[in-house]
Amino acid sequence: MICIEARGLRKAYGTTIALDGVDLRVEEGRILGLIGPNGAGKTTALNAILGLTPYYGELKVLGRDPWAERDLLMRDVCFIADVAVLPRWMRVSHALDYVAGVHPRFDRAKAESLLAKTAIKRASKVRELSKGMVAQLHLSLVMAIDAKLLVLDEPTLGLDILYRKQFYDSLLNDYFDRSRTILVTTHQVEEVQDVLTDILFIDRGRIVLDRTMEEFESRYLEVVVRPDHVAAARALRPIHERQVFGGSVLLFDRADRQQLAALGDVRRPGIADLFVAVMGSPNQAQGAVR
């Protein structure tokens, strides 16, 4: 089943093109990382998917038009942005009462079970919780809703490394069941690399790279090259090169591993390394890095 499908998706704000003919296909049961620099079109894409903004082109989310059928769509969709959206005056128990009253697919017993794993007290007000605890509360509320699509927009922004790890561990262990779909945007790409099943790079409103993690792991290699082998490595046409202490790191697409091993230490790159390479490619503006 296709969870999200877009064809020629376009959105402009005056003379600024936020989405420029985006084609997108996300199958059910995937965890997609939508990655791009500030102003690339990530938030606009999410707003279109959530039915928060009109658009040109074709877009279906769970088989529905998000703009025309948002009320029906949101029965099957959950959204987490900055955790600061929870009212600071509200008590934890009141938050549970509220979600139970407004969402027919909220499982209060599950939310209580998730909160039992934390130090959050039911009588506490949101303003009395640390930002990490607010994130735990928000995630517990959302994960207790039987939704088919979960959209996360920089969900761990401002959290320390411990809470960020707990957030994604809980997401995988307590929520994702390979029938739900998760769409996440983040700048902390190293932390979600082992969580994602697919990556999508967006820049200036266009998709510049679309890969499954299986493709990513099979296609790309990095080699740390000593100075006397740099010329030979460059002859193999790397897609990116950066300098490190004592040598150069070159990134290759579809290169022969044994050939690279003769030039230096070969390793798998991180998503962040590929992102820097793609964003710095002279061809990426034309969508050539596919």
3-class SS of residue 189 = helix
| Sheet of 16-27, strands arranged across | 16-27, 2-13, 56-61
CATH superfamily of domain region 2-204: P-loop containing nucleotide triphosphate hydrolases (3.40.50.300)
- Exposure of 110 by Cβ count < 10 A (0-12 exposed, 13-18 middle, 19+ buried)? middle
pLDDT 10s digits, 72-123:
999 999 988 765 578 899 999 999 999 999 988 999 999 999 899 889 999 9
| Domain coordinates in residue numbering, the chain | 2-204, 215-284
Q: Measure the CA–CA gap between 154 and 186, rounded to whole angstroms.
A: 5
- Cβ contact 47:53 at 8 Å: yes
Q: Under 8 Å CB-to-CB from 239, ≥6 apart: which residues?
A: 251, 252, 253, 277, 278, 281, 289
| Residue 289 DSSP label | -
Rg, the chain, Cα only: 21
Going by pLDDT thresholds of 50, 70 and 90, the confidence category of residue 131 is confident
Q: What is the mean pLDDT of the chain?
A: 90
Give the closest residue to 121 by CA, choosing from 110, 108, 136.
136
Residue 251 has pLDDT above 50, yes or no: yes
First to last CA, the chain: 24
Residue pLDDT, tens place only, 175-225: 888 889 999 998 888 888 889 999 999 999 999 999 999 999 999 999 999
Q: Do you know the residue count of the chain?
A: 290
Q: What is the distance between the alpha carbons of residues 167 and 134, in angstroms, rounded to a whole number?
A: 11
Map residue 60 onto helix, strand or coil.
Answer: strand
**pLDDT tens for each residue of 19-29:** 999 999 999 99
How are strands ordered across the β-sheet holding 264-267?
A: 240-244, 247-253, 220-225, 264-267
